Amino acid sequence: MKRPIRMCLADDDARTRERVRRLLDPDIQILDIGPLSQAVERAAQHLPDVVILRIDDYHQGQTLIPALRQRVPSAKILVLTPNEDPAFLHALLQAGASGFVCHEAEKTDLLVATQALAEGRMFLDVCLGTEIKGQLHALWGGKEIVEGHHVPLSPRERQVLRLVALGHTNQEIAGMLGLSIKSVESYRARVMDKLDCRTRAELVRYAEEH
């Protein structure tokens, strides 16, 4: 069985830390949540796949990101930020960031961003303007980039979708996949939200067409 994505979150705002924690996928293993001042040491201790940093200004990024890259070179860095200035994003990219999510990102984009980085891809939030996206695409060269408005389903979500389309109940799916019924309900709700499906019939139609 594929192990869950391992993640550390660093943010000086306790309310934002709690919000992000609630949004994270059940498949993501939260290793540590704490302030920015402890981000490097905690990441070095836990060795996550992805580190999410809430960064508001240039100096924070220029200090933290290179330090993380040096201490935990295998970890991908996802920046959660309200700052959409092209020069700011460019600087963080050069420092070693692998993706950007706007501060008020929806659950779907945050989950997809974390998954994309863990798989070695880059991520650009849908809230970024066309000009900024163009600049970042050019800077990232030939690397595969996932954008927030192109939302892929996770492997587990595809499994749940397929089994729903085959007519299985939530209880049956839970037994087949070794999950709790509550987890299946959560996956099913996320799939419907991502695909903008309101009924089981619409889910079945999507599965048949894809």
pLDDT (0 to 100) of residue 106: 63
Q: Are residues 91 and 180 in the same domain?
A: no
Task: Assess whether 140 and 161 both reside in one domain.
Answer: no
pLDDT of residue 150: 46
Structure confidence by residue, pLDDT tens digits, 145-189 = 676 654 556 678 888 998 998 999 999 999 999 989 998 998 898
Is pTM beyond 0.95? Reply is: no
Number of domains composing the chain: 2
Give 71's Cβ-side CA count (13 Å radius).
19
CA-nearest of 78, 42, 38, 36 to 59 is 36
Task: Assess whether 133 and 29 both reside in one domain.
Answer: yes
Domain of residue 122, CATH code: 3.40.50.2300
**Whether pLDDT at 61 is above 50:** yes
Per the CB < 8 A criterion, the answer to whether 78 and 50 are in contact is yes
Q: Is the pLDDT of residue 140 over 70?
A: no
59-80: b (≥16 Cβ within 10 Å) or e: ebbeebbebbbeebeebbbbbb
Both structure tokens of 210: 């894809």
Residue 5 confidence (pLDDT) above 80? yes
Structural domain of 15: 5-147
Residue bearing the bigger pLDDT, 26 or 100: 100
- Do residues 17 and 58 share a domain? yes
- 131 plus 200 within the same structural domain: no
Are 179 and 132 found together in one domain? no
Model confidence pLDDT, tens digit, residues 67-77: 999 999 999 99
**If pLDDT is split at 50, 70 and 90, which confidence band does 142 have?**
low
- Which pLDDT tens digit goes with each residue over 78-136? 999 888 777 888 888 889 998 888 766 666 678 888 988 998 888 887 666 666 667 66
Task: Name the phi and psi angles at 166, rounded to 5.
Answer: -80, -5
Residues 186 and 168 in one domain: yes
Asked if residues 101 and 113 have their Cβ atoms less than 8 Å apart, the reply is: yes
